[in-house]
Amino acid sequence: MQEVVIVTGSSQGVGLGIASVYLRDGAAVVGCDRSPAPDELASNPAYLHVQAELTGKGSVQKVVSACLERHGRIDTLVNNAGVGNAKAFEETSAEDFQRYYDINVAATLEFSRQCLPHLKASKGSKGSIVNIASVFGLVGAAQSAAYVPTKYAVVGITRMLATEFGGEGVRVNAVAPGLIFSPGTQKRIETSPWWHRMMIEGAPLGRVGRAEEVGEACLFLSSSRKASFITGVVLPVDGGWSIAKFLPNPELS
């Protein structure tokens, strides 16, 4: 039976990579974003795009209803939509904190709440949520005042839902990406030697990740065959950055 997957924030970056991986694996994907369907996915008959501002009233219901109308069920929810590029604490306003909370936390909670009845109905086959956290939700990080707390919250949401709904056949896990390639990432790497040293040279694998590599981790964690006994896990996909964060000292080699 073809798996039915909702991927939030699917028009670009990590979300586009996640949706592409599920489509290549044969799933039917319902993507949503405030932007139109990406060219890479728009012509794929297994992809349905719902254009919506996810913090808007009724937007989550709009996406869930479109999925049920097309496919009649939901097997996997990937809560990817989020906002980044936060500022230092003293430069962050109350409005900034609220904006990050609304998309990174509240939308994750609301999608999970509305999808859970359908995921529970999928018991015995799929029934999975994969949340996109961040390595900055696992460690302290300066100058990301609105971002870091919301990604810590995603980790907490993951473990709470996994605990509460495991007995009903729903597994809930998270992926914590490190530095993943995007046009914005490329610009920052090229213009900030510090960023290059910290996020690339400071990772054991020494490179930027690809969005599809995050997608492959999501695909694994949502698989009822390959990950059937895995729930409540937060899997870093970061080239080892979260275990190292600095280069070995060449003077000690």
Q: Tell me the catalytic residues.
A: 147
Could you tell me if 155 and 101 are in contact, meaning their C-beta atoms sit under 8 angstroms apart?
A: no
Residue from 143, 173, 147, 142 nearest 160 by CA: 173
Tell whether the torsion through CA atoms of 72, 115, 209 and 96 is positive or negative.
positive
Tell whether the torsion through CA atoms of 69, 228, 25 and 130 is positive or negative.
positive
Spatial distance between the Cα atoms of 204 and 202, rounded to a whole number of angstroms: 7
With left for phi above 0 and alpha for psi between -120 and 50, is residue 28 left, alpha or beta?
beta
Spatial distance between the Cα atoms of 219 and 167, rounded to a whole number of angstroms: 22
Task: Please give the span between the terminal C-alpha atoms of the chain, in angstroms, as a whole number.
Answer: 54
Strand partners, 175: 132, 235
Please report, as a single letter, which amino acid is at residue 88: A
Residue from 73, 86, 62 nearest 8 by CA: 62
